[in-house]
Amino acid sequence: AILIFCWVYVRKYQSRRESEVISTITAIFALAVALITSALLPVDIFLVSYMKNQNGTFKVWADANVSRQIEDTVLYGYYTLYSIILFCVFLWIPFVYFYYEEKEDDDGNTCSQVKTALKYTLGFITICAVLLLIGAFVPLDIPNKKNSTEWEKVKLLFEEFGSSHGLTALSFSISSLTVIGMLAAITYTAYGMSALPLNLIKGTTSASYERLENTEDIEEVEQHLLRIKSKCRDGRPLSSRDRRTLQQLEERLRTLRRRERHLESIEKSWWTKFCEAIRPLKIVWGVFFIIVALLFTVSLFLS
């Protein structure tokens, strides 16, 4: 089900003209791994609660061996999914991105594109190695022995790293990525709580006005296309830069024409008329959400 959702989601929002097979597979696979990893946490909680009675004691069938096997299976699942996430974030996704960026900028052979993509991907691999080393060796509580030598301290580091099977290194790397996602979630949540009520009060641009702007954009793109095509009227071939620009303008023209048809259908739909009728109610809801956002802000300052 997760793979089907990821496939539909990626295929819906990707560019039909500029899509590539490898990049599509990469996006679907990476999104599916992220969602499966998120879904593993409630599964872990369910398995632990399923093995226990309401008073907190383990059920008869959940003896030490069975519970240990279930815990090990879930732990290996975390290991596998976290390792795949690191592989995707620091190796696969950067390589695919830089490979196709180099393919657009340079019409050279595949070997040079692979070399350039690997060169840029090496920076991400270095960052991943640094995170793993920091997580493996820095946050350890090493006993302070007066008579211990430097070699014994280094030996203790590797012994601790081996006893944890790299769990601290992997956890630190994943936690570093989670911090970035948490900051993004905080930022966009704060923006959404302020933008939603203001957009409700301000309202949206009417479909007729958007159609007028879209028509002007179509005329501008068509004039630009005519200027580029006029360069090859005497039989001279277009340069590679002009050909790429021509393809981009043709794609933009098709997009604008599709948008024009879409705006025309919106303008004639009953939903647009219904939204215009409930415009006063939207203003009321906007004021309500502003009060809720201010309540959150005051509560955070008070706490």
Which stretch, 249-253, 262-266, 274-278, 298-302, has highest mean pLDDT?
A: 298-302
Number of domains in the chain: 2
Task: Tell whether 178 is covered by a domain.
Answer: no
Task: Tell whether 273 is covered by a domain.
Answer: no
Task: Tell whether 36 is covered by a domain.
Answer: yes
What is the average pLDDT across 170-174?
A: 83
Task: Tell whether 145 is covered by a domain.
Answer: no
List beta partners, residue 52: 58
Per-residue pLDDT tens digits for 24-56:
899 999 999 999 988 888 888 888 777 777 776
Q: How far is it, in rounded angstroms, from Cα 215 to Cα 264?
A: 12
Residues 18 and 135 in one domain: yes
Q: How far is it, in rounded angstroms, from Cα 102 to Cα 108?
A: 9
The pLDDT score that the predictor gives to residue 98 is: 86
Residues 136 and 218 in one domain: no
Task: Tell whether 48 is covered by a domain.
Answer: yes
Q: Is 48 exposed, middle or buried (0-12, 13-18, 19+ CB in 10 A)?
A: middle
The pLDDT score that the predictor gives to residue 162 is: 55
Q: How far is it, in rounded angstroms, from Cα 229 to Cα 22?
A: 33
- The tally of CA atoms less than 13 A away on the side-chain side of residue 87 is 10
Residues 135 and 3 in one domain: yes
Residues 4 and 112 in one domain: yes
Among 114, 140, 166, the domain-final residue is 140
The pLDDT score that the predictor gives to residue 284 is: 92
Range of the domain at 253: 206-233+240-268
% of residues, the chain, pLDDT over 90: 15
- Higher confidence at residue 82 or residue 140? 82
Mean pLDDT of the chain: 81
Among 104, 120, 140, the domain-final residue is 140
Q: How far is it, in rounded angstroms, from Cα 127 to Cα 111?
A: 25
The pLDDT score that the predictor gives to residue 285 is: 92
CA 24 to chain centre: 14
- Higher confidence at residue 85 or residue 17? 85
Helices 93-105/110-137 angle, 10° precision: 150
The pLDDT score that the predictor gives to residue 30 is: 92
Residues 4 and 133 in one domain: yes
Stated pTM of the model: 0.60
Task: Tell whether 164 is covered by a domain.
Answer: no
Among 140, 159, 182, the domain-final residue is 140
% of residues, the chain, pLDDT over 70: 84
Task: Tell whether 181 is covered by a domain.
Answer: no
Residues 132 and 263 in one domain: no
Per-residue pLDDT tens digits for 179-220:
998 999 999 998 988 899 998 888 877 777 788 888 888 888
Residues 99 and 224 in one domain: no
Task: Tell whether 161 is covered by a domain.
Answer: no
The pLDDT score that the predictor gives to residue 298 is: 93
Per-residue pLDDT tens digits for 151-164:
665 666 566 555 55
